[in-house]
Amino acid sequence: MKKAGMTVAVQKDKWEQYGVLRAGPPLDARLPETRLLEKDALSSMLQRHPSVVLKPRDGSFGTNIIFIQRTETGAYRMQHENNAITMSGTDKVLEWLWIESKGRGYIVQERIPLARIGRRPFDIRVMVQRQKAASSPWTVTGSYAKAATKGYLVTNVASRPLPLLRALKSARIEDRSLPAKIARAALEAAERLGERYPDLRQVGFDIGIDRERRIWIIEGNYQPALRPFRLLKDSTMLRRIHWYRNH
């Protein structure tokens, strides 16, 4: 990729992405607090937030994600997929994580209390693309909601994608302006990343809505899967996505 005579490669690193997005308003206010995983960072985050999420900084397609919650006794409850264990201190947590991750780098992120469909937390995947021409504007080409399967906290483990409006209705979210606000947040994030990576042409953003109806940009994925769009009855978005990929 060329920028001012230099090659700028798209980095899958979630920590670098966080740095790009939080460079200024309005996006900085929409990002969950995120730190590189170190002992002091983990302790500090668990003091400020009731629950945090640990993610591989190089991306993992929704796997190897760990949720940690401080209990009333001061211990730490960790959930990976549908398995949970409790440990007594951050030293033991980090030791366990080092063994499990084989030294892989992690970030620790504030866990957003997502809106729910029934008892299942859900978030929204928003596909944003632009054409090959450098001056092409970013466009939202598709979206769907994904709810966690029973017993899981990760929304990537979803039984089936839901159309956005149906998901909002099922969650009893009545703000009709919310879909447009979600699209605007995704476009602003894509524009910011596109300034950093001029050849970037698609991002699949995970957008969260919390229980106060605030919008959060959880992360962007540079190789978003198309399978969920294929599972939707309406193929309009899938056709649009393919068109942008080819033009």
Contact 182, 215 (CB under 8 A): yes
Per-residue pLDDT of the chain (247 residues; tens, 9 = 90+): 444 445 567 778 999 999 999 998 999 999 999 999 887 898 899 989 999 999 998 876 566 788 898 888 888 888 877 778 888 877 888 887 777 766 678 999 999 999 999 989 999 999 999 999 878 999 999 999 999 877 665 666 556 899 999 999 999 999 999 999 999 999 999 999 999 999 999 999 999 999 999 999 999 999 999 999 999 999 999 999 999 999 9
Rounded Cα distance, 124 and 138, in Å: 18
Contact 218, 123 (CB under 8 A): yes
Q: In 10 A of CB 197, how many CB atoms?
A: 18
Q: What is the pLDDT of residue 92?
A: 81
Contact 99, 92 (CB under 8 A): no
Q: What is the pLDDT of residue 96?
A: 78
Domains of the chain: 2-10+114-246 (3.30.470.20), 34-110 (no CATH)
Q: What is the pLDDT of residue 93?
A: 80
Place of tokens 């009855």: 233
Q: What is the pLDDT of residue 5?
A: 47
Q: What is the pLDDT of residue 151?
A: 60
Q: What is the pLDDT of residue 155?
A: 64
For residue 143, is it left (φ>0), alpha (ψ between -120 and 50) or beta?
beta
Instruction: Read off the tokens for 166.
Output: 């149906």
Would you say how long the chain is, in residues?
Answer: 247
> 161 phi and psi, to 5 degrees?
-65, 150
Q: What is the pLDDT of residue 70?
A: 86
> 26 phi and psi, to 5 degrees?
-90, 0
Half-sphere exposure in the Cβ direction for 130 (13 Å, CA): 19
Q: What is the pLDDT of residue 12?
A: 81
